[in-house]
A and B are shown apart, each in its own frame.
Chain A
């Protein structure tokens, strides 16, 4: 297992601090559900940075990582839907609750293929919302161009999800390469989300 290097630590700490800023200051002013959703998303990003920093890459072996990494896109997409498309909020909330429960259940109790397919669908829907909703909001004049960074963050988190799935199974990338990429990717993802929200 690769050890964390000094740049890795710096990037993880940076990601943690950015996420902490966003939880404490950056999401003030939203209504209850978006606020709770964004707190959950950035809170998990913060804890992901801190736990990687403290426990090292071995934490990636845990099944809880997959579950936690699903909570980020699901809660962030729920926050975006609640904030900008409130008419769809009840239906999407049901999707999020059922989707998260399905990911947890299949990860713990079903064969690997079923778990992977469930994760692909749930994560895919949430990822597409985070990627494209900001661009639609910009196109309709409801957000400034800088909100595209949230969409970029959505794309980056999709890449992160892909790397984590490579980590668990066979892939063209070695574990060492994935471990080398993850801290930078976590930092860039968090930075894109935070900057997008700050400049909104």
Chain B
């Protein structure tokens, strides 16, 4: 039993639970946004489990592929793979099993939904992690597209098709991803440098990166606002979203005008809170 608990603890670290949880929340919000009858608990359960499995699988496969990078960075060198507490073969098998189970369950639930889930996995693992992450800082665009897939998949399952609102929601995530990742790559600039990963701050400088963050935050806020207006969200929730968006833009602009490590970290934290709050508003509004 103790061995099982230890394994579970190590595997839990491999799936980056907070990031997986946030992406899962976007998928659930996408599904609920279609105003589908959420009392179909079997569908909701299937969506939650299949998304959780495929996102977890994708994250474990990223960890497996990037274990050499993780070993060179102080922030990540204590993760299970570089620390040697989980073997690469074990991680690869776990990642493949989780991903196959997730995509398989998704396809069984609905072919379109399954296809989008598979696309997310493909973009994240193959295009972003294996192909582009070590070659160009623009890999972030593909990371963003992969990040937008759970919400696209959720809405496709709820609405039965990919409509323009799905595209707006996915775009909102795509534009939000740079705020999330670039603030992080500025905070751990030296780590990424020593690992040889090309990042925006390393290639274009910090100030250009801050400008990109501000513009992408603005684009994310506009896309999510437009999507939620189009969905017909209650006026009160839209007011709340406007306030939260103003906060995001205020911190992004402050980071551009008066840059500091604290503001950068604050923007990273606030951006996560902003996305989670927006998704919760979508869910609450649909109930």
Contact with A along B241-268 (1 / 0, CB 8 A): 0111011001100100000001100100
For residue B284, which residue of chain A has the nearest CB?
A24
The docked-state distance in angstroms from the alpha carbon of A1 to that of B234 is: 41
B115 at the interface (CB under 8 A from A): no
CB distance from B92 to the nearest CB of A (A): 37
Give residues of chain A (121-147) contacting chain B, Cβ–Cβ below 8 Å. none
* Bound-complex Cα distance A23 to B250 (A): 18
CB distance from B57 to the nearest CB of A (A): 32
B184 beta carbon closer than 8 Å to chain A:
no
Please state if B236 and A28 are interface contacts (CB–CB under 8 Å): yes
Residues in chain B near residue A27, CB distance under 8 A: 236
| Interface residues on chain A, size class | 10 to 19
Contact partners of B250 in chain A: CB under 8 A: 47
Interface string of A41-63 (1 = CB under 8 A from B): 01100110011001110100000
Contact B243 A43 (CB under 8 A): yes
Q: A47-B246, A50-B247 are in contact. Are A58 and B237 (CB under 8 A)?
A: no
Q: In the complex, which of the residues B243, B254, B266, B273 contacts A39, with contact meaning CB atoms closer than 8 Å?
A: B243
Q: Do B236 and A50 have beta carbons less than 8 Å apart?
A: no
Closest to B238 in A: A24
Asked whether A47 and B236 contact (CB < 8 A) given A54-B270, A58-B262, the answer is: no
A55-B262, A58-B262 known; A25 and B243 CB under 8 Å? no
User: Once the chains are docked, how many angstroms separate the CA of A54 from the CA of B263?
Assistant: 9
Chain A residue at minimum C-beta to C-beta distance from B247: A47
Q: How many Å from the CB of A175 to the closest CB on chain B? A: 17
**Known interface pairs A50-B270, A55-B263, A58-B262; A20-B246 also in contact (CB < 8 Å):** no
In the complex, which residues 206-241 of chain B have their Cβ closer than 8 Å to any Cβ of chain A?
234-237, 239-240
Closest-CB distance, A71 to chain B (whole angstroms): 11
Question: B78 near A: Cβ within 8 Å?
Answer: no
Q: Which residues of A contact B269 (CB under 8 A)?
A: 54
Asked whether A20 lies within 8 Å of B240 as measured between CB atoms, the reply is yes
CB proximity of B278 to chain A, nearest CB, Å: 12
A28 to B235: give the CA distance in the assembly, Å. Answer: 9
On whether the beta carbons of A51 and B236 are closer than 8 Å, the reply is no
Question: How close is A8's CB to chain B, nearest CB, in angstroms?
Answer: 16
| Chain A stretch 51-95: residues in CB contact (< 8 A) with chain B | 51, 54-56, 58, 64
Chain A contacts of B244 at CB under 8 A? 46
B234 nearest in chain A by CB position? A24
Decide: B246 and A43 in contact? CB cutoff 8 A: yes
State whether A23 and B239 are in contact (beta carbons under 8 Å apart), knowing that A43-B246, A51-B247 are contacts in the complex. Answer: yes
A29 to chain B, nearest CB (A): 10
Contact A47 B243 (CB under 8 A): yes
User: CA A161 – CA B247 in complex, angstroms?
Assistant: 21
Name the A residues within 8 Å of B254 (CB-CB): 64
Question: Given A43-B246, A47-B247, A47-B250, does the pair A54, B266 have CB atoms closer than 8 Å?
Answer: yes
Query: Is there contact, CB below 8 Å, between B239 and A39?
Result: yes
Do B270 and A25 touch across chains, with their CB atoms under 8 A apart? Answer: no
Give the residues in chain B near A24, CB-CB below 8 Å.
234, 236-237, 239-240
Nearest A-chain residue to B254, judged by Cβ: A64
CA gap between A43 and B245 in the complex, in Å: 11
- Cβ–Cβ < 8 Å partners of B246 in chain A: 43, 47
Q: A43-B242, A46-B247, A58-B262 are in contact. List 12 more A-B contacts (CB 8 A).
A: A20-B240, A23-B236, A24-B240, A25-B236, A43-B239, A46-B243, A47-B246, A47-B250, A50-B273, A51-B251, A55-B266, A64-B254
Q: Which 6 A-B pairs have the closest CB atoms?
A: A43-B243, A24-B236, A24-B240, A55-B266, A47-B247, A23-B240
9 A–B contacts, CB within 8 A, in A order: A20-B243, A23-B243, A39-B239, A39-B242, A46-B244, A51-B266, A54-B269, A56-B262, A64-B254
